[in-house]
Amino acid sequence: MKRGRRKAKNPETARRILAAAEQIFAQRGLAGARTEEIAAAAHANKAMLYYYYGDKQRLYRAVIENLFSQLRRSIESARPANASPRGHLLAYVNGYFDFVSTHPNYPRIVQREVMESGPQLHWIVQKYFRPFHKRLSRAIEEGIAAGEIQPVDSHNTVFSIIAITVFYFAAAPVVSRVLGRDALRPQAVAARKRAVLDFLERGLFRSPKRAK
């Protein structure tokens, strides 16, 4: 090997660093996280962390990008081919629940970023939040035109759907205390998902008879 040639990056090392960073950023936030702690949790040294991801800011962005990319894939995989407007909305709810139930750090990191108006918020809104909102509001408007969905304000209805879907996970520590049991155990998450879907079926979607 020629002198000075950079060593090829190992995908497994990159994955370990990203996973360790996600956990520590979720616990301590960007400001509180220390690169030494992330490197130790990933069984790597600081030099490897910088080699793979640059500085702490870039690593933090990589963590968020990875989470949102997985969320988008989860929602897309829940949507059937040639989905109706109703199918689009159900795919969002199903995909979000399936993703967050296996990625508990996602609401913690995103909620912290939103509450603190963190440095990544602008591009998160531009790349993910705004497209999600636009897609869901368009599905609602198409569903209203097709008689599948009640006549509602599409933009505010999107906020309502996101709220009833996201709040449960964002407030899980409080919800657990209110219920007196772990709100994130699989049975509890499944029950919440059924409740949200039932709410949409009864409150937003129109039955075939009523749509005529």
Question: Which superfamily is assigned to 9-54 in CATH?
Answer: Homeodomain-like (1.10.10.60)
Listed residue (23, 3, 7) closest to 15, CA to CA: 23
Bridge partners, residue 149, by sequence: 205
One pLDDT digit (tens) per residue for the chain, 212 residues: 444 455 667 889 999 999 999 999 999 999 999 999 999 999 999 999 999 999 999 999 999 999 999 999 999 999 888 889 999 999 999 999 999 999 999 999 999 888 888 788 999 999 999 999 999 999 999 999 999 999 999 999 999 999 999 999 999 999 999 999 999 999 999 999 999 999 999 999 987 654 44
Domain boundaries, the chain: 9-54, 60-211
Token pair in block for residue 154: 């599409």
Token pair 């090829």 is at which residue?
8
The domain 60-211 having CATH identifier 1.10.357.10: the answer here is: yes
pTM score, two decimals?
A: 0.86
CA-angle at 103, arms to 138 and 187, nearest 5°: 90
Residue type, 36: E
What burial letters (b/e) apply to 108-127, b meaning 16+ CB within 10 Å? bbbeebeeeebebbeebeee
- Using DSSP's 3-state secondary structure scheme, residue 83 falls into coil
Q: SS3 for 13-55, per residue? A: HHHHHHHHHHHHHHHHHHHHCCHHHHHHHCCCCHHHHHHHHCC
30 φ, ψ to 5°? -65, -45
CA atoms of 138 and 191, how far apart (whole Å):
28
**CA torsion through residues 18, 20, 26, 28, sign:** negative
DSSP tally for the chain: helices H, then strands E? 12, 0
Amino acid at the residue 50: Y
